[in-house]
Structure 1
Amino acid sequence: MGDTSLTRRRFLAASAAGLGAAALSACGSSDDGKGSGSTTIEWWNITTTQPAKKIWAARAREFEAKNPGVKVKIVTLENEAYKSKMTALTASGKLPDIYHTWGGGVLEQQIDAGLVEDLTSKIAPWSGGFVPASVSAYQFESKTYAVPFDIGAVGFWYNKALFTRAGITTPPTTWAGYLDAVKKLKAAGITPIGLAGKEKWPGMYYWAYLAMRTAGLDAMRKAADSKDFTGPGFVQAGEHLKDLVGLQPFQTGFLGAGYSTPGGQAASVGNGKAAMELMGQWAPSVEASSGKGLGKNLGFFSFPTVDGGAGKLTEVFGGGGGHAVRKGAPQAAVDFLKFFADTEFDKKLVKETGLIPVVKAAGTALVDPNLKAVSTAINESTGFQLYLDQAYAPAVGQEINDSVAALMGGTKSPEAVAKSITQVAKSQ
């Protein structure tokens, strides 16, 4: 990423929601009460789509078979529900034994609260096999607090056939060219972009990338340190996004649409009803799960540069997924993470679920040309920005999501977005 303060920080901010006391008390390992030494470890994840969900569950059963006396209780939730409940669990001081993390400011807050196990020495014998970039978001002060299973970057996934129908011969590399492409798609009677406006975080990706392209990574780092996002580059990012929104490029009803829901963002692209979406490396599998999928018609291109902006085409916005362990969890939790990080299993995830390998030795399993393009973008990047709603404290990330959603809904100006984010940042 070029700056360790950014590298330490990430996909989606915590939304406020409660969780019942019964559910809170359910977290953590347990004995069966009969003195048999049976242990249950609870594993919370967000893998809701197939075939990954089935493969992950099978891996848990395989672990149980190799470790008699250990049971793995799986809790799988959609992103927003997961974030809401994890916020409540963090406040209660009782996290699951193993839980999904995007790293960054959210994980850092959990660490500061003394809720997360330092895995540095526990995984040292086998952690050297990871791709370095895949671990960075979970490292703080030379200590590692999570084990990666995914790494990737956000970019545009597009329908080649629809682009061709609209007369677009090559993907745009500049923002002006991108707006022209949107206009051509509309002129051809094609919905240019699928967007899950209801969930907010997909819209945040546009503002984040535009801020990277206009203000630049150095300015973003300084803004995070000074807690001031009112600089001209950030306002310009909102203005460029407002220009896009003004073209009415999204599918009908986008403000109420979900991401992986029937008729939502992924389905609109996967079923050929929208020409593209700005999404992470998981997009192809979710498009295929939520819709039909595009097969050979699916392409990928990086977020365009902005004329006069400080950012480069080779600077990437993204992150990954990892598993953290609650403080005091049984050794079985760490053993499971080692089992999950096995090279052959990582190859299976790459081949069957579309993940980009985090284990170096599993790199040979990556054959999909689009995922190779994402992997190349990461490996050849000249800068890396962690997802904003995980890079910053949860309240700041939530404000970015909310303010950008308001801008896209036409109720907030670019200047007001920058001011709102700054006000919340300074209050932390």
Structure 2
Amino acid sequence: MKLKKLTAVGLAAVMCVMAAGCGSNGETNDKKQENTQKTQEKESGDSTEQEELVINYVSARGETDAALKTLKKIAEMYKEDHPGFEFNVESIADRATYLQKIKILASSNELPDWFDADPEAFFEGICKKGIIYSVDDLYDELGLKDKFFDIALDYPKLSDGSNYLMTWQGNVEYFWYHTEMFEDAGITETPKTLTELLDACEKLKAAGYTPISAGNYDMIMRYPAFKAFRMAGNEFIDNARMGKEKFDSEVGIATAEYTQQITQYFSEGWTNSDATAQMDLFLNKGAAMLYTGTWDTPDLVNENKELKDDISTFRLPVDSDKDVTTENDYYANCGIGTAVLKDSMTPAMKDFIKFVWENFADMAMYEFDMLPSMMPSDPDKLPELTQQILKDLENCGTFAQCWDVRLDPSTNEVYRKELANLGMGESTPEEFCQRMDEAVAQYAPDYFDVE
């Protein structure tokens, strides 16, 4: 981010520095005193000069992403009264390419003013360097904290409970299903337990249907956590990712066994599919169920924002009466968040961010059909489905943590590979867990404070 004074004196000073190649050798004491006075005026808010604010934002969101489109429109609105303002966005939708870019920028101390991140190990390492502004402090300073859904404040927290990410979305994950296929297969009630989910899959398969459309690996990587979350909550992954608890344990083995059981009901070719193919298969009634989040709602509703045709939903089933989580605990999240460099957090930056949050919720909801991370105005006027989703978002007890976010990047690569081997029957649950433990032992010390 660059702050530039719109005065001839300021411009001349900048040109002088550029020509001399140094900051102060040619500066007189009078000039130093003048600049010091201007700095003090800016900080106190007494300066009548207008600042230019230029924000460089490297985003993991695609150009069609609703959150990004909302931010860009708000930036255009802000520019109307702040002619020197610029909001420059570099969009890198491919996640692997994006992460590689951020790692290169971080290693060379060239991170942009804004960049997207999950609360995972690599980002946590960046925060420990003290170069990212605390979002907890920012929200307190701007008087915004009580306006957000609780999950928008809790989901992006790091291991120590701190928060360095602004989150834009509010998402709940569901099983979406075709009611006609369920009825034809003799399934009269939606599954209430993970065992009943397997039973429903078997009935659908016997009736000639593909039970689950799978292809989006972000969603596929949820399945191993279903069992573990019910048996041990988030404590299992929090400990296992640092080697404090083994994947090769009662909970870990049960998780792997359940994963291997349910993947046999996935659509053909799931290891080489993608999110688009997964959605198309479901919408074209090539599969009975789809597990995904509410960011995909626009594909699943009609022009009246009602669920298409015979589609309905159910939340993550429980496991047994020994569960440590309840039916009111499930997957809900806020998507990837946005960090702001500490050096970029000037009064001008805070003014823009405050303007963003004054406009974001309603614009995201009513213009771009995206559930925001704070409640929009007039929620009672929203479609019934949207109201239910907002209610589920607001009432979620403990949200299940995404394993691919909690694991360090290197172990996560192993997780992705071994999940495919496990699901295809090329490894046993025991082998899966042993290889995960080996990966943690090899890579976790590079990211966490573990021996």
Alignment-derived partner of residue 355 in structure 2: 339
Pairwise CA RMSD: 3.4
Q: How many residue pairs align between the two structures?
A: 391
Contact 1:156 / 1:279 at 8 angstroms: preserved in 2? yes
Pair 1:314–1:402, CA change in 2 (3 A): farther
Q: Could you tell me how far 1:236 is from its partner in structure 2?
A: 1.0
Alignment-derived partner of residue 40 in structure 1: 54
Q: 2:433 aligns with which of 414, 418, 421?
A: 418
Pair 1:203–1:376, CA change in 2 (3 A): same
Alignment partner of 1:153 is 2:172: yes
Q: Aligned partners of 2:311, 2:286: CA distance in 1, in Å? A: 13
Contact 2:148 / 2:375 at 8 angstroms: preserved in 1? yes
Contact 1:107 / 1:138 at 8 angstroms: preserved in 2? no
Alignment-derived partner of residue 63 in structure 1: 78
Gap regions ≥5 residues in structure 1: 1-27
Alignment partner of 1:237 is 2:286: no
2:191 counterpart SS class: coil
1:153 counterpart SS class: strand
Alignment-derived partner of residue 181 in structure 2: 162
Contact 1:168 / 1:181 at 8 angstroms: preserved in 2? yes
Higher Cα radius of gyration: 2
1:305 counterpart SS class: coil
2:267 counterpart SS class: coil
Gap regions ≥5 residues in structure 2: 15-50, 445-451
Render the CA deviation track for 1:186-220: whole Å, top value 9, x for unaligned: 23333222212xx6322111111222124444444
Instruction: Please say which of residues 380-389 and 305-314 is displaced more in the overlay.
Output: 305-314
| Larger strand share, 1 or 2 | 1
Q: 1:190 aligns with which of 196, 203, 209?
A: 209
Greater relative contact order: 1 or 2 (C-alpha under 8 angstroms, separation 6 or more)? 1
Alignment-derived partner of residue 10 in structure 1: none
Pair 1:57–1:357, CA change in 2 (3 A): closer
Q: Could you tell me how far 1:68 is from its partner in structure 2?
A: 1.3
Q: Aligned partners of 2:117, 2:381: CA distance in 1, in Å? A: 24
Alignment partner of 1:280 is 2:293: yes
Q: Aligned partners of 1:376, 1:73: CA distance in 2, in Å? A: 35
Q: What is the identity, as a one-letter code, of the residue corresponding to 1:103?
A: P
Q: What is the identity, as a one-letter code, of the residue corresponding to 1:194?
A: S
Q: 1:406 aligns with which of 421, 426, 430?
A: 421
1:279 counterpart SS class: strand
1:155 counterpart SS class: strand
1:74-153 alignment, distance < 5 Å: 74-80=89-95, 81-124=97-140, 125-128=142-145, 129-139=147-157, 143-153=162-172
Q: What is the identity, as a one-letter code, of the residue corresponding to 1:110?
A: I
1:313-324 alignment, distance < 5 Å: 313-321=327-335, 322-324=337-339
Render the CA deviation track for 1:285-320: whole Å, top value 9, x for unaligned: 35579xx99525332211222347534333223321
Contact 1:174 / 1:306 at 8 angstroms: preserved in 2? yes
Pair 1:230–1:51, CA change in 2 (3 A): closer
Alignment-derived partner of residue 364 in structure 2: 349
Render the CA deviation track for 1:238-267: whole Å, top value 9, x for unaligned: 111111223xx233332211113xxx1122
1:94 counterpart SS class: coil
2:434 counterpart SS class: helix
Pair 1:190–1:44, CA change in 2 (3 A): farther
User: What TM-score does the superposition give when structure 1 sets the normalisation length?
Assistant: 0.79
Q: Aligned partners of 1:288, 1:96: CA distance in 2, in Å? A: 37
Q: What is the identity, as a one-letter code, of the residue corresponding to 1:390?
A: V
User: What TM-score does the superposition give when structure 2 sets the normalisation length?
Assistant: 0.75
Pair 1:30–1:403, CA change in 2 (3 A): farther
Contact 1:235 / 1:415 at 8 angstroms: preserved in 2? yes
Render the CA deviation track for 1:33-86: whole Å, top value 9, x for unaligned: x94975531223344374725444323322322321121112223252333433
